[in-house]
């Protein structure tokens, strides 16, 4: 039981580390960018795929910075949950064999 949780936590921790690094790099680029500031945090948008594709949908694209940021943050959180669940599921599958 503890091995299963340690692998799932390990995978999620790696994903959280990627998110943290992407947020730092995106923050530094946003601060230094004067042209096209929305593309400066592209790392976070990519980590939020496929949920960040909703940013191009008409009603969501009119929500402004707050709406776009919440779509990206929710996408990152959903991806973390999915990755953790898949890691636990795969580990249980390998342990049965």
pLDDT in tens, 20-37: 888 888 777 777 766 655
| Domain encompassing residue 55 | 2-96
**Residue 51's closest CA among 73, 66, 36, 26?**
73
Report the number of distinct structural domains present in the chain.
Answer: 1
How confident is the model at residue 3, as a pLDDT? 54
Name the pTM for this structure. 0.69
How confident is the model at residue 1, as a pLDDT? 47
Q: Which residues contact 85 (CB under 8 A, 6 or more apart)?
A: 8
Q: Which whole-number Å values give the CA distances from 93 to 34, 62, 64, 65, in the listed order?
A: 49, 44, 43, 42
For the chain, list residues with pLDDT below 50: 1
Structure tokens at 23: 């947020």
């Amino acid at each position: 039981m503890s091995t299963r949780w340690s692998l799932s936590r390990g995978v999620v921790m790696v994903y959280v580390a990627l998110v943290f690094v992407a947020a730092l790099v995106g923050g530094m680029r946003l601060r230094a960018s004067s042209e096209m500031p929305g593309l400066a945090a592209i790392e976070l948008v990519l980590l939020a795929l496929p949920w960040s594709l909703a940013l191009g949908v008409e009603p969501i694209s009119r929500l402004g910075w707050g709406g776009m940021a919440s779509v990206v943050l929710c996408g990152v959180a959903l991806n973390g949950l999915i990755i953790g669940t898949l890691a636990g599921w795969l580990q249980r599958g390998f342990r049965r064999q």
